[in-house]
Amino acid sequence: MYTARADRYENSFHPDYTKRFMAIADIQAGERVLVLACGTGLEIFIATEQVGEEGEIVGVDITDAMLAKARQKKEQLKPDAKTFDVILCSSAFVLFDNPESAVVSWRNFLKPVGRLLIDITHEDNLKVGLLLERAAKRLGLKFPSNRTWIKDENSFKQILERAGYQVEKVELMDRLTGQGDTYYSADQIEEHFERITGTPLTVNLATEEFRDKTRALFREEWEKDAVNGMILNVDAVYLYVASRT
């Protein structure tokens, strides 16, 4: 999914959003920062200026194309066995199959006073993709994103607290793409189905068989959420700032 997006990733809302994310991260000089799912390095290159010569940034990503893009701008840093002052994960957490297991394991890399910053989508963000995910899961199909567990801003707060974190702040990052919230009407169902099954999100899924199986279920999921035939797409994510307890 992200291999196909690597070259276009920085020609989107992501650079502007990253500046907002990093302003809240408030990285200090000399800190050691771990950037998970670092993508093309947007957070890394801002953090590098913030930590200065005495600090260190380690970026980890699983997509070769994303790492290649980052290496075009700066030599990749290698991780070692030390712990971190800050762990960042932006625009990627909903790709993890087991959210609780992920944050439990990451806690081991934080210093006792270390902080964790993660964003997750609002429960009504990227709504069309969420409806397709729900349709796919009804068929027992594995989907690239894992968002059905997000019911409201407390969903992830509770996961963090169970994992041994203290949630310091939850920030609603609105106007994520700059478009604002939008409504979609029932007569757009087919249009949105065709669009979402043709995006990088579903590039490895969207065979004709997949479309045939999910088309009717997608409509059912739309109708479940619709109010007077309309569904709301919220242009926002939640940003969580947490510390080890």
Please write the tens of the pLDDT for every residue from 192-210.
Answer: 999 999 988 887 787 899 9
Q: What distance in Å separates the CA atoms of residue 82 and residue 62, rounded to the nearest whole number?
A: 21
Res. 1: pLDDT tops 70:
no
DSSP label of 89: E
Helix (H) or strand (E) holding 220: helix 208-225
Give the residue-averaged pLDDT of 126-138: 97
Nearest residue to 92 via CA among 21, 165, 159: 21
Q: Is the pTM of this model over 0.75?
A: yes
Cα–Cα distances in angstroms (integers) from residue 244 to residues 25, 30, 34, 112, 216, in the given order: 15, 20, 15, 6, 45
User: Count of CB atoms within 10 A of residue 16's CB?
Assistant: 13
Res. 117: pLDDT tops 70:
yes
Q: What distance in Å separates the CA atoms of residue 87 and residue 102, rounded to the nearest whole number?
A: 12
DSSP label of 80: -
Alpha-carbon Rg for the chain, nearest whole angstrom, is 19
Percent over 90 (pLDDT), the chain: 78
